[in-house]
A and B are shown apart, each in its own frame.
Chain A
Amino acid sequence: MIYGLAPREVAPPGRKKPIMITPVKRGTVQLGKTLAAIHEVKRDQMVTVEGSRFEVARVLSEKGSGAEIRIYMHLADAQAVLNRKGEINEIQALDCYCADETQDTLALLREQLGPILPQAQVFRMQDMAEAREKQRRDIEQTFSTLMPAVIILCGVIVGVLAFVNTRARRQEIGILRALGKGSGEVAALFLGKALLLGVVGAVGGFALGTGLLFVWGPGLLQIPPKLISWDLNNLKWALLLAPVFAAMASFIPAMLAVTQDPADTLRHDG
């Protein structure tokens, strides 16, 4: 069974989606495992499909489905070998990310596609859709439970560290005040440190988090490996939010530092 895959996916307007398919280069094919085994074909070998020669770019892993006996190739190659230039017979759309529980997305899609593609049959790949929906909900549930706890825990840790730091630097605060540094400068010192900590934490957290996701994401959270990447968008948000969060957590210790009586520290000097 020959499948011609379009060279790229079309993301919904305004959304940048990770690529779900593995693109196939022109002149190459990807073979289902059973098909490759029957014909004793391996990667990098040449095969003939409908009279045309193709290089085997990949033998797919065992799927236990119809994919076992498929040949995947570039859409243009498939149209050429099947003599069906410009024709397609299937559009796969992933709707679970856009699903609105109040709407029947299938009916909506039929209504919208009807005038454009009157011959097209629109139906749901129910098993796949449900699997993806379940996966999405599982991830959302995990994160909605985990995230507040992680955020509160991180806030407490940053706050406690800032408080301990303030205690440890009492003498330094005292001397800064003796040197004529005002409350604003002392507060800026502590909040500045918190901001710096936030920036370092954002970069470190992004690296560590993404790294751990690569290792444990597919197994523990059931996230498809294709969805895991070094997404700089996450880094951008981390760099924006982590310093603000760290500064907020350090606010009380910073205020304590500002209101601390420097004379009290220096008076017990010896």
Chain B
Amino acid sequence: MIDCKQVTKRFGAVTALVPFDLELASGEFIAIKGASGSGKTTLLLTLGGMLRPSDGTVNFDGADLYAQSPATRAEYRATEVGFVFQMFHLVPYLGVEENVRLAARNGAMTQRPRELLEQFGLGHRLTHTPGELSAGERQRVALARALVNGPRLILADEPTGNLDPENDRQVFEHLSEFHLAGGTVIVVTHGSTADEFADRIVNLETAP
């Protein structure tokens, strides 16, 4: 599904990501670990078609992501990928349901946002704004948003970095459910909970 070859990212004189290879089959769950500054987020954004690598290629289903137009990559993110971030990145002035609906392709019509939120135990919070939610609840909203278009791949960047152990586990259980249903998960994490759920652990080297 994903095939990275010698992907490198430099910002000026700073190397954020040392040459990195990764082959990922559809339906895999991998955890990427590494020291702070090893380029975990950079790698995730590169895999998500949002950050062009300085060198190397990122292939998705055999097609070079960065040989395609920005519009095609946007379409790839909208249909194939769901992003989950450590800081949740919810729109602060929108309600929970609206945040999820914002990402939905046929946002106004579909019942999917509500169904997902109810599935994640947030049915009673639909009209609340992110500021009124706990960190765990916010991350579950972000998860619902990532899943709303039925993606094949979830890219999660430290999704439990701001959560207590109970919510940490809950988030991984939701990711695991997605994985068991056939989805592919790449999660960047510092914690050890991922070890229990991931098929593979990949360690990123820090740039010298």
A positions within 8 Å CB-CB of B: 171-172, 174-183, 262-263, 266-267, 269-270
Do A269 and B74 touch across chains, with their CB atoms under 8 A apart? no
Contact partner of A181 (CB less than 8 A), chosen from B74, B76, B157, is B74
- B177 / chain A contacts, CB cutoff of 8 Å: none
A270 and B158 form a contact (CB under 8 A): yes
Which residues of B sit under 8 angstroms from A266, Cβ to Cβ?
A: 41, 45, 50, 85, 89
Please give, as numbers and ranges, the residues of chain B lying within 8 Å of A174 by CB-CB distance: 89
Contact B74 A182 (CB under 8 A): yes
Q: In whole angstroms, how far apart are the Cα atoms of A269 and B145 in the complex?
A: 18
For the side of the interface on B, what is the size category?
Answer: 20 to 34
Residue pairs across A and B with CB atoms within 8 Å: the count is 63
| A267-B89 in contact given A179-B77, A180-B74, A182-B74 (Cβ < 8 Å) | no
Chain A positions within 8 Å of B89 at CB level = 171, 174-175, 178, 266, 269
Given A172-B91, A179-B103, A182-B71, A267 contacting B86 (CB threshold 8 A) = no
Residue of A172, A180, A262, A269 ringed by the most chain B CB atoms within 10 A: A180
Q: How far is the CB of A78 from chain B (nearest CB, A)?
A: 67
Task: Chain B residues near A182: list those with CB within 8 A.
Answer: 70-71, 74-75
Main secondary structure of the interface of A (DSSP, over half): helix
Task: Contact check, A179 vs B50: say whether CB atoms are below 8 A apart.
Answer: no
Expressed in whole angstroms, the minimum distance between the Cβ of B172 and any Cβ of chain A is: 19
B86 contact set on A, CB distance < 8 A? 269-270
- Report B-chain residues with C-beta under 8 Å of the C-beta of A270: 86-87, 158, 161
- Shortest CB–CB separation between residue A92 and chain B, in angstroms? 60
- Contact in complex: B91, A178 (CB < 8 Å): no
Q: Residues of B contacting A267 with CB < 8 Å? A: 41-42, 45, 51
Decide if B79 is an interface residue (CB 8 Å cutoff): yes
Cβ of B126 within 8 Å of any chain A Cβ, yes or no, is no
Contact assessment for B70 and A183 in the assembled complex, using a CB-CB cutoff below 8 Å: yes
Q: Write the nearest CB–CB distance from B112 to chain A, whole angstroms.
A: 14
> Which chain B residues numbered 32 to 75 have a C-beta less than 8 Å away from chain A?
41-42, 45, 48, 50-51, 70-71, 74-75
Contacts A267-B42, A269-B85, A270-B87 given; indicate if A179 touches B161 (C-beta within 8 A). no
Enumerate 19 A-B pairs (CB-CB under 8 Å) in ascending A order. Answer: A171-B89, A172-B91, A177-B74, A177-B77, A178-B48, A178-B77, A179-B77, A179-B103, A179-B145, A180-B75, A180-B76, A180-B78, A180-B79, A262-B50, A266-B89, A267-B45, A269-B157, A270-B86, A270-B161
Beyond known contacts A266-B89, A267-B51: 19 more, CB 8 A cutoff: A171-B89, A175-B83, A175-B89, A177-B74, A179-B145, A180-B75, A180-B77, A180-B78, A180-B149, A181-B74, A182-B71, A263-B45, A263-B51, A266-B45, A267-B42, A267-B45, A269-B85, A269-B157, A270-B158
